[in-house]
Amino acid sequence: MAGVAKQFLWGAASAAYQVEGGWQDGGRGLCKWDIYTNEERITEKVVGVQHTGNVAINTQDRAQYLKDIGLMRDLGLDAYRFSLSWPRILPEGTGQVNGEGVDYYSRFVDDLLAAGITPLVTLYHWDFPAGLFADGGWHNRASIDWFRDYAAVVFDALGDRVRHFITMNEPFIDIFYMDLIAENMRAGRSEPYRFTSEQYGRQAPAMHNLLLANAETVAEFRRRGQEGMIGIALPLYPTVTLDPEKPANVAAAKLTDGLINRWPLDAVFKGTYPQDAIAALQAENPDFVVPEADMATIRANPVDFLGVNFYSPALVRHDPAGPLGIDRDANPDAIKSFNGPVRPEALHDLLIRIRDEFGNPPVMITENGAGFGDGDEVRDGDLIRDPHRADYIRRHAEATLRARQEGCDIRGYMVWSLFDNFEWIQGYTRRFGMVHVDFDTQERTPKQSFFLYRDLIARHHRDAAPG
Tell me the catalytic residues.
Answer: 170, 367
Rounded least distance, CB 401 to ligand BGC, Å:
22
Q: Which residues bind ligand BGC (CB under 6 A)?
A: 15, 18, 169-170, 173, 235, 309, 339, 367, 416, 423, 432
Please tell me the chain's helix, strand, coil percentages from 3-state DSSP, rounded to the nearest 5: 50, 15, 35
**What's the rounded Cα separation, in Å, for the pair 316 and 109?**
41
Nearer to ligand BGC, 147 or 432 (CB): 432
Give the SS3 label for residue 459: helix
Torsion angle (degrees, nearest 10) of CA 434, 338, 397, 266: -130
Nearer to ligand BGC, 37 or 98 (CB): 37
Compute how many other C-beta atoms are within 10 angstroms of the C-beta atom of residue 349.
Answer: 15
**What's the rounded Cα separation, in Å, for the pair 43 and 59?**
22
Compute how many other C-beta atoms are within 10 angstroms of the C-beta atom of residue 158.
Answer: 19
On the question of a cis peptide bond just before residue 197, with omega within 30 degrees of 0, the verdict is no
Nearer to ligand BGC, 170 or 304 (CB): 170
222 with 148: CB under 8 angstroms?
no
| 427: region left, alpha or beta (phi > 0 left; psi from -120 to 50 alpha) | left
> What are the residues facing 166 on neighbouring strands?
122, 231
Residues, the chain? 467
Nearer to ligand BGC, 182 or 278 (CB): 182
